[in-house]
Amino acid sequence: MAQVTEKGIEDILYEEGKLTKDKVSMVKMEAINTGKQVEDILLARNFASLEDISRARGAILGIDYSDPTTKPIPADMLAKIPEPVARRYTLIPFAYDPTSNTLSVAMADPLDLQILEFVERKSASKIKPYISTPDLINRAITEQYSQTLTTQVSAALQDVGGTVEAKEEIADLGKIEEVIKEAPVAKIVSTLLEYAIKAKASDVHVEALEDRTRVRYRIDGILQERVVLPHKVHEALLSRIKILSNLKIDEKRIPQDGRFTFKLADNIVDLRVATLPTVHGEKVVMRLLPKAASAPTLADLGLRGTALKNFEENVTKPHGIILITGPTGSGKTTTLFAVLSKINSPRINIVTLEDPVEYQIPGINQVQINPAAGLTFASGLRSFLRQDPNVIMVGEVRDGETANLAIQASLTG
């Protein structure tokens, strides 16, 4: 533990040779004249890096500095503090002393006693705080917790061993069914989905490459590669997902769509599954649709002030059209879910046309399109106009006919 000192950050940096005497004087004078924090002045003038400032701040507080990105952190240590907690409070455990039950934790704010007390209860360990920068901690969280996923999957792969061979699986359908019922393959799928829920991913991509299978997660709208699997387990992995989704495991030539439900503790998630044949094997994308106990409000989604007021006024009007657009995973469906839940009432007739129905809302007439039976967005919208609707929600406007019908419906009220 470092010794507490009454010196300022600029004095510590001067002693370490990071600042000249002239720069120290300049920083002190500017702090007096402007009332700005010394740290802000040092960063604004590029006199010192954030790491240097954190080290100096630690020296003043008597708290040691740590860079959690320098070495791997064991999975059992990371398990003491879940990733969502680490991200929320910008901290990460990096060392553990079992004799004294002391967990060393790098923190952006090691003086926050409430966080320290919470982490002590969560980890059931004594906490020894270290100071670090938010950037280093967040980078370590991303790297270390993703490696934990790889470790868990690798353990399951060791159980699978060399018994899963692509050529044998393709030739013998009965053998596939036996393989996908084995615990190791089921455990791989379960581990991948557990990580998706904990990381709040919107989609999971399982892709066959020439020499391997990669798994990517769409988190905050950005695809991130998290784990790589040997190509020999790809067929068994896909077959396991297909059986869960009630898809044909022997059909690999055409795309298929299905869905299933996955439960993790108190979290129940619907997964919409879509397969696609590619050059190196089938690809599967699983869209995660959490079953929320109650619909999120528009305020929960981040709308505030004038924007929220204007939007709420417009969604309650008896005529007009509202278009919600955005990239994959941006929250279009969740926003529509929030709007429909807000205006849902026995006094109005709400009908929706979706592909597929992602969120089921009590009291609303929801229809899933079925092109094979002739029910498309255009034909469904045409039929809706004879259902005496007050509100029509069209999941996707894919062609000119659907767009034209939507505009005509909005004009007639």
- Please tell me the distance from the alpha carbon of residue 129 to that of residue 267, in angstroms, as a whole number: 32
Please say whether the dihedral angle defined by the alpha carbons of residues 193, 196, 200 and 205, taken in this order, is positive or negative.
negative
Instruction: Report whether pLDDT(176) > 60.
Output: no
The verdict on pTM exceeding 0.95 is no
Determine the Cα–Cα distance for residues 120 and 128; give it in Å rounded to an integer.
10
> What pLDDT shows up at residue 256?
92
Question: Domain ranges in the chain?
Answer: 9-61, 75-132, 141-160+182-290, 298-412
Whether 130 shows a pLDDT value over 90: the answer reads: yes
pLDDT band at 167 (very low <50, low <70, confident <90, very high): very low
Secondary structure of 253-322 as H, E, C letters: CCCEEEEEEEEECCEEEEEEEEEEEECCEEEEEEEEEECCCCCCCCCCCCCCHHHHHHHHHHHCCCCCCC
Stretch 382-390: mean pLDDT, rounded?
87
Report the C-alpha gap between 152 and 188 in whole angstroms: 8
Task: Output the pLDDT for position 10.
Answer: 76
Nearest one of 219, 245, 381, 361 to 294, comparing CA atoms: 361
- pLDDT at site 413: 57
State residue 277's pLDDT score: 94
Average confidence score pLDDT of the chain? 81
378 Cβ contact partners less than 8 Å away, ≥ 6 residues apart: 399, 401, 402, 405
Return the CATH number of the domain spanning residue range 141-160+182-290: 3.30.450.90
pLDDT of residue 359: 75
* Tens-place pLDDT, residues 192-233: 888 888 777 889 999 999 888 888 988 877 888 878 888 888
User: In sequence order, what are the beta bridge partners of 285?
Assistant: 205, 274
For 281-335, write each residue's pLDDT tens digit: 999 999 988 776 566 788 877 787 888 889 888 888 888 899 998 887 778 888 8
List, in order, residues 6 or more apart from 255 with CB less than 8 Å away.
Answer: 274, 275, 276, 277
Residue closest to 145 by CA, chosen among 222, 200, 202: 200
Tokens of 325: 């657009």
What does the alpha-carbon distance between residue 172 and residue 170 come to, in Å, rounded to a whole number? Answer: 6
Tokens of 198: 């904990």
Q: Domain 298-412: which topology? A: Rossmann fold (3.40.50)
Place of tokens 């398990």: 79
230 cis-preceded (ω within 30 degrees of 0): no
Residue 233 neighbours by CB under 8 Å, 6+ apart: 157, 160, 164, 185, 188, 213
Residues 199, 83 contacting (CB under 8 angstroms):
yes
Q: DSSP secondary structure string, 358-384?
A: -S--TTSEEEE-BGGGTB-HHHHHHHH
What DSSP string runs through 45-89?
Answer: TTSS-HHHHHHHHHHHHT--B--TTSS---HHHHTTS-HHHHHHH
Percent of the chain with pLDDT over 90: 14
Model confidence over 16-36: pLDDT tens digits? 777 777 777 787 787 777 877
**For residue 175, what are the contacts with CB-CB under 8 A and spacing of at least 6?**
168, 169
* Strand partners of residue 290: 269
DSSP for 190-250, written as a single string: HHHHHHHHHTT-SEEEEEE-SSEEEEEEEETTEEEEEEEEEGGGHHHHHHHHHHHTT--TT
Q: What is the pLDDT of residues 109-129, one digit of tens each?
A: 888 888 888 888 888 889 999
CATH class of 75-132: alpha beta
